[in-house]
Structure 1
């Protein structure tokens, strides 16, 4: 029997590794191709048309590498590109939706926060889920935005005094307003958990959509006949559009964090990363 094609996973940078970890848990037999557009990260402040164009080029590159489906593991790219991609490519395209629904269901204060990039806040997906879930429940959604956090994670500073200062500035108003749930509206942001805990303790429950999108991806692949059996372990290939050597230490640290709950990530070996032009 011919094995199913690999699943492509795309993000503007290293943040999608948080989604990749959930996909590996949900799809242990699936071969995966991870592409980080490190030559153009961050996407959040870019014009809408440029975000769509960069995302299309990345998905086309993964398709050329043999991907039979692609997870757009980037909230900003998902906010602007999903409809366009589904019209352009004859394969399943799976995107991210901010985890507003579980935040609304879990809140006791009636106030939830969303930490996102400017691009995600401009897009329609966030507004749609707020309208569908928060407004009928009478839950107030407060938005916080930063252009600094993604570059800090990309620079290997997810748990750093500089990062904590940014989080303190942008999230203190949400804490003071009584938010008890914080939706992490960017795949880079789960890697900020240690900094968030250092600054805010248990003020916020942290929610992201990685596990949910992994479960959804399994259902989509199964329905399309693209799901690999779980009997053998799948492989992962890593690609970047920028400098592989520069990306390798950050990849190693964040991959170790997803596998070992943050214990001594600096001891993880650097993964083999290939350069891919899009």
Structure 2
């Protein structure tokens, strides 16, 4: 991408979550009240205008405008049941299996970013996108962010992030199998060892994994797709899911499946565009 070539890759000091914390501080400075761990059961319009948000205790609160940052097609499908006018459900990007590991020492042979490609990339990516099976030779991505920002791990130790793309579970039951974590972990460790990168069990101080179903439930993702709607020709620019609902006034969407697209910088721009449109409509 042009941005990476022209400006390089950037990491917020304190890691990616520092961006969330910065936005939280900004919101607090503007007297925004944030409720955490508060699920939304339903959004109820009044005619063609967004009106009420139903909370877990079944109480409904009245709002002038509602911005949904759950994945747009999932939010429309789950929170606005039986409400007409939804855009066509998009083709989605793959699901992911992710590992978060704390290491006693930095692993040799890895930089901040390392991508491992399969021998037959064409077949592997066709399997991932078509969703028919888990490719036997998977691509995967490894990050060691503590190499760039040492504050992300205790002195002398390291943080390791691994992302393995998988077909969507709705199309490929193997992506939701009970032994998925063991399969993915074993595959990655064997592949690393082939490249002379061995992570031995005594060096692992902490480890957790998120499956596609974990991602789906934590972030209200459509079909467990980790990166939202795919960037196909008919799903970019004016054809992408809009920030402003085309049928219900006062209802807005933000995130990877909406305009302008997937990726962290792009999603951040999506937030700005959504707020600009909401403020324009409020005038």
- Tell me if TM exceeds 0.5: no
TM-score, length of structure 2 as denominator length: 0.25
Q: Is the radius of gyration larger for structure 1 or structure 2? A: 2
Structure with the bigger RCO (C-alpha within 8 Å, sep 6+) is 1
TM-score, length of structure 1 as denominator length: 0.26
Greater helix share, 1 or 2?
Answer: 1
